[in-house]
Amino acid sequence: MHQNFQWPNKSVAKQTSISGPIPRKAAISSDIRDFEQKRIVFTFKYYNHAQCEIHGLEKQDAKKLIMEFRKVNDVSVSNFQSNRAGIKCKKVFKSGNYVPLFNNLPVDVDALFEINYTDTGRIFGYLAENIFNITTIKRKHIKTSKYT
């Protein structure tokens, strides 16, 4: 045996039993925050430059994009997800022409929000708590079998 090895104290190894319900302080951590009522904030950590079309935006569309960011930033997570905020968006999944949008994203991201900022312009991203991870900005909607 290793020369510094010590057997554990037998009194430490005894099992204690607890009866009754778990105390509220132990069951509900004070570290948990109610993120659903927080406003949405943005990050570009997983931005997909290969899919980006922001460089081709005209001035008017760039203004509309900024206004849409402001609108999203002014709502809570719960209002955004329930579509009560008046933001035109839908969920899209990793299939068809949407597959490239999921490149280099965390493996647990199985859907993105597609937000309209003009008739054809789109912002793509996903929510993690109250953080909207912007993944791509497109000038034109992605063609799917519905639109081709």
- Residue 97 neighbours by CB under 8 Å, 6+ apart: 142, 143, 144
| 3 state DSSP class of 96 | helix
Burial of 114 (0-12, 13-18, 19+ CB in 10 A): buried
Query: Which residue has tokens 């199985």?
Result: 110
pLDDT in tens, 110-131: 999 999 999 999 999 999 988 9
pLDDT in tens, 90-107: 999 999 999 999 999 999
Query: Would you state the pLDDT for residue 105?
Result: 94
Intervals of the chain under pLDDT 50: 147-148
Query: Would you state the pLDDT for residue 78?
Result: 83
Q: What is the pTM of this model?
A: 0.72
